């Protein structure tokens, strides 16, 4: 009973501290093979509209912590690269230009850095970081096996920094690797 009460209190506490998002962004697939687009809507699902007026394959969107931009993956330049755009669809900019596959971006809490998956440097999916001010990138992981779906772990102060606050846990080779 005590653990149920503690769980309930923690749930209510976290729920009250988690703000309701104003908007959501989603990837949607269409009837034609390879056709994927990004849509943005109010958090209740109303006012849905395409984020970009494009027939390119755009997918895996992630919001900047301050809500000022969305980073996503697109094949519009010939290979999977990361792009950034404002929520109103303006100021589209390409963030990566390496011929490797760049995907699955995540922001640091301050929004100054990204962690993302890339096949650069040998063809195996590894985690890389990018300083958004300088666009400089560096490898974060280099173990055998692929690394996918990065996420930043908040520090005790509630902020997220890269790479110090990233915790990696490797599972046995038969299973793969995971972020924790």
The pLDDT of residue 33 is 58
With H, G, I as helix, E, B as strand and everything else as coil, classify residue 115.
strand
- Give the pLDDT means over successive 10-residue stretches in the chain (180 positions): 33 38 71 75 88 87 92 91 95 94 90 91 87 92 73 55 38 35
Domain ranges of the chain: 22-179
* Tokens 């703000």 found at: 19
Distance CA 85, CA 144 (A): 34
Secondary structure, 3-state, 51-91: CCCCCCCEEEEEECCCCCCEEEEECCCCCCEEEEECCCCCC
Q: Collect contacts of 20-25 with beta carbons under 8 A, ≥24 apart.
A: 22/67, 23/67, 23/87, 25/51, 25/61, 25/63, 25/70, 25/87
The pLDDT of residue 155 is 57
Contact assessment for residue 115 and residue 104, using Cβ atoms and an 8 Å cutoff: no
Distance CA 115, CA 125 (A): 13
3.90.730.10, 2.40.50.140, 3.40.50.720, 2.120.10.30: which CATH number matches 22-179?
Answer: 2.120.10.30
Instruction: State the pTM of this model.
Output: 0.71
Rounded to 5°, the CA angle 60-64-69 comes to 85
């Amino acid at each position: 009973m005590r653990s149920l009460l503690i769980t309930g209190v923690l749930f209510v506490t976290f729920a009250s501290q988690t703000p309701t998002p104003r908007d959501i962004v989603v990837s949607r697939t269409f009837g034609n093979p390879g056709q994927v687009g990004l849509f943005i809507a109010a958090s209740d699902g109303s006012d849905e509209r395409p984020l970009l007026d494009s027939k390119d394959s755009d997918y895996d969107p992630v919001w900047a912590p301050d809500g000022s931009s969305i980073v996503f993956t697109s094949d519009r330049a010939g290979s999977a690269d990361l792009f950034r755009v404002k929520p109103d669809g303006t100021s589209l900019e390409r963030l990566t230009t390496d011929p490797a596959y760049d995907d699955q971006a995540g922001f640091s809490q301050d929004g100054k850095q990204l962690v993302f998956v890339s096949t650069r440097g040998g063809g195996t999916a590894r985690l890389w970081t990018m300083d958004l001010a300088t666009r400089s990138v560096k490898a974060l992981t280099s173990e055998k096996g692929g690394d996918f779906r990065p996420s930043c772990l908040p520090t005790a102060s509630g902020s997220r920094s890269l790479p110090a606050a990233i915790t990696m846990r490797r599972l046995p080779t038969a299973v793969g690797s995971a972020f924790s």
